[in-house]
Structure formats: C-alpha cells, structure tokens
Amino acid sequence: MTMRAFPLALLLATTACSMTPKLALPAAPVAPDYPIALDGEAIPAWRGMFGDPRLQQLIALALTDNRDLRIAALNAEAARTQIRVTRAQGLPNVSLDGSYSRQHQPGSVAGAGVGLNNAPSSGVTFGQITAQAALTSFEVDLFGRLRAQNTAATERYLASRAGQRAVRLTVIGAVTDAFLAERLAEEQLSLTEATLTDWQSSLAIARRLHDAGQASGVDLAQAEGLARQAQADLAQRQRERMQATNALTLAVGAPLPADLPHPIPLMQQSIRTALDAGTPSDLLLHRPDIAQAEHELRAANADIGAARAAFLPRLSLTGAFGFASLALGGLFNGANQSWSYTPAISLPIFRGGELRGNLDLARLRTSIAVATYEKSIQTAFREVADGLAARATFASQSSEQQAVVAQAERRLALARLSYRAGTTGRLELLDAQRTAYAAQQAVLITRRDELTSATALYRALGGDMITETPR
C-alpha cells in the first residue's frame, strides 16, 4: 500500500465506526396467555367484519374524508420528507458560482502591490471575472453521527406510518361506535313515540272513566304521570338522536349522504362477535400502535449514537476549482485555472455542558420510549382481555334481557285482558306498561353495548391491519 493510499484506507475504516448502542427490545410485560381463552373465527377485513351496507358506505367515506386520518397521512409525508433533509446533511454541497468585479486602485497602492515604483499616478482600473465549482463544508462521517441521525429520521418516519395505520383503525372503530349510537338513539326514539301514543290513549280512557265516576283519582294521576314521563323521554330521545347524528357526521368527516342504504335494526345487525384472539405475542405483529412505539424507541436509541459522536472530532472538506481572468475571452484558458482545498478538523473542548446534556437527554428519552413501548403492550393486553370478557358474558346477558322483554310483553298482554274483564285494576295495567317499556329500552342498550364491545375487540386485535394495507 502506498503512502498516498494509506490515509484514504484509514479514513474509510474510521467512517465505519458507530457510537449507537445495540438495542435489545424489552420482554413483553404481560402474561403469556389471556385470562379468558375463547375460540373464534379468523379476523376479517373491515368489510367482512361489518356487514351492514349503510355502515360500510359510511366507513368508506370516512377513510377518505376523516380529518384525523388526513392529518396522520400528512404527518407521515412530513416525516418522509425529513428523511431527505437528514440524508442531505451527509452529502457534499456543490455549487457553481460566477462573479464579476471591477475596482480602481491609486497609483501608490497599485505599485506597492506588485513591487513597482512607476505605476501611473492616476492609478489602475481593472476588472476580474471568476467562474468556479465549489464543494462547501462536506463533513466526513468519522464516527457515525450523521448515520445515526439518518437512522433516527427513518425510524420516526416508520413510526408515523404505523401511527397512520393506528389512526385508520381508530377511525373505523369511531365510525362504527357513532353509527351504533345513532341506531340506538333512533330506535329508542321510535319506541318512545309508540309508547307515548299508547300511554296517551290510556290517559284518555282514564279521563273518561274518571269523569263517569268509574275510576279513582289515583288511576287518573298514574296515567297522567306515565304520559308526562313519556313526553319528557321523547324530548330526551330527540336530543340524543340529533347529537348522535352530529357525532357520526364528525366521525365520518363529511355530511352524511342522502342516498345511504336503509339501516339494519340493532337486533339484526350483522357485526361479527366471535373473533380469534390468538396469543398476546400476536399483538406485537398486529397492533400498529405497538409498532409505532417500537420505531420511536429505535429512533431514540439512534439519538444516543448521534449525541455520543458529538464528543469526537469532526472532519470537514471545502474545495473549489475554477477560472479567473481579467477578460471574459480568455477566462477558460488553462493558465487561468484556480483551485483551493481546505480540510479542517474540529474537536470540541468546552461547550458549557451542552454535549453532556444532550447525551443525558437522549438517554432519558430512550428510557421514556422503553416505558412507552411496554405501556403500549400492557394497554393492548388489557383491551383484548376486556373484549374477551365482554364476549364471554354478553351472549348470556343479551339472551336473558330478551327473555325479560318477552316476559314483560306477556305480562302486559295478560294485564290488558284482565283489565278489560274487570278482574284487575288500572294500576296493574299501567305498571305492566311501564315495565315493558323499560325492558324494551334495556334490551336495545344491551345489544348496542354487545356490538360496541365486538368492535372494540376488533380494534384491540389490530384486525384491519392483518388483512388490508392502508391506502
């Protein structure tokens, strides 16, 4: 190896150094199995999960117009652009410069500048034209500082992409929850309107009987109380329906189309509730928020490498090659060539604790990223466990609640027959009406909660990310 090649080989060997510590992901701080293990179906894409055509159209619209998803996409694009900015710091900056200057020097100065005593007393006027290509302050990455910064930028871009997928899954869940809330409000409103009509008819009958002396004031007061309660419930249901529609509009991100398919009633909604939860380790592959936290951890670890390398020398190169001439016609003659080459090395001596502070801060942020990563896993485990607990109990609760409705409606039918036959009083009929109304409201709420819990489990398992790639 020649003496000229030796410094180059040494330089290339030095640039292979890296100050970034090796990262070992912490073990998942959760149990190896869920508290409840249930068999289920494979997790489908969202169109297979939510079978209502109206809901499908709303989700598709939200994936186009929802502002949270749009912001997440822009953040991902900004992070991708930041990679280009960071990479550019490790490349030479080359510029092409041209200039023209004209100046006048008095005779005494002009003669002294060239060692002559016979310069014209009036002085010398001349112009100069230069053209050159310049390499400005190109840093040779001796200890991997720029490489670590580039790694951190890349990991943050990947984190933003995972965050975009997490937002997409959140949007699907938010639209579904808002849709179910609107369906509940609409069906409760319809039930309240029908109940109010029924109770107003009962009130009219009670008034006629009271006026004829065939019913007591207690019966009339009871009927009036039920009718007024239904009136109050009607106002509440109308408000809830309007607010639910507003929430659904916000979740979708656009006004609801007028040509949406007719909705399927809550009790017949085709939302899957039997989903295969797999094992907690599957969450590391399927949950985009966990992937986001992992990339943030890797980025923070790369920041440590950049902070370490800042303590070490920096080598920068500056050079220029061009031409200089007093006349444009002879500018590019070989004799008019000009060049300069300036390697420079810089070693920090005193920065007032800035470098040590940056390193300590990078280490602290890495510790925070580790805790965030572990917390993401724990949160995911809890959400899946909650979903499995809901799935294990809602089926029986819904079945029993429907049995309560059937029993209340049977009691109401018998109370009407008994009242018409004169074997029971009106208070018994009114109580049966109130019980049936409450049971019908409760079964709707239970069904909505069951469907909402299925949606939550779908999100907790990262369902849409398993089978579909975000657009």
For residue 429, give the CATH number of its domain: 1.20.1600.10
The C-alpha atoms of residue 165 and residue 76 are separated, in whole angstroms, by: 10
Residues 135 and 197 in one domain: no
End residue of a domain, out of 299, 329, 346: 346
Residues 146 and 134 in one domain: no
Residues 459 and 427 in one domain: yes
Between 57 and 272, where is the model more confident? 57
Lowest mean pLDDT among 181-185, 243-247, 419-423: 419-423
Lowest mean pLDDT among 115-129, 240-254, 342-356: 115-129
Residues 341 and 454 in one domain: no
- Average pLDDT of the residues in 11-36: 78
Of the pLDDT bands very low, low, confident and very high (cuts 50, 70, 90), residue 108 is low
Residues facing residue 125 across a β-bridge: 104
Are 443 and 405 spatial neighbours (Cβ–Cβ below 8 Å)?
yes
Written as one letter, the residue type at 83 is I
pLDDT recorded at residue 53: 95
End residue of a domain, out of 330, 346, 362: 346
Residues 182 and 326 in one domain: no
pLDDT recorded at residue 6: 41
End residue of a domain, out of 324, 346, 368: 346
Helices 145-211, 426-460: axis angle to 10 degrees equals 170
pLDDT recorded at residue 2: 45
- Residue 133, domain extent: 94-140+316-346
Residues 112 and 198 in one domain: no
Say if residue 127's pLDDT is above 50. yes
Which among 341, 342, 330, 344 is positioned nearest to 131, based on CA atoms? 330
- Average pLDDT of the residues in 328-335: 71
pLDDT recorded at residue 325: 75
Indicate the number of domains in the chain. 2
Residues 263 and 180 in one domain: yes
Residues 229 and 337 in one domain: no
Instruction: Return mean pLDDT, the chain.
Output: 86
Using a 10 angstrom Cβ sphere, with 0-12 exposed, 13-18 middle and 19 or more buried, the burial of residue 118 is exposed
Residues 417 and 323 in one domain: no
61-82: per-residue pLDDT in tens? Answer: 999 999 999 999 999 999 999 9
Of the pLDDT bands very low, low, confident and very high (cuts 50, 70, 90), residue 389 is very high
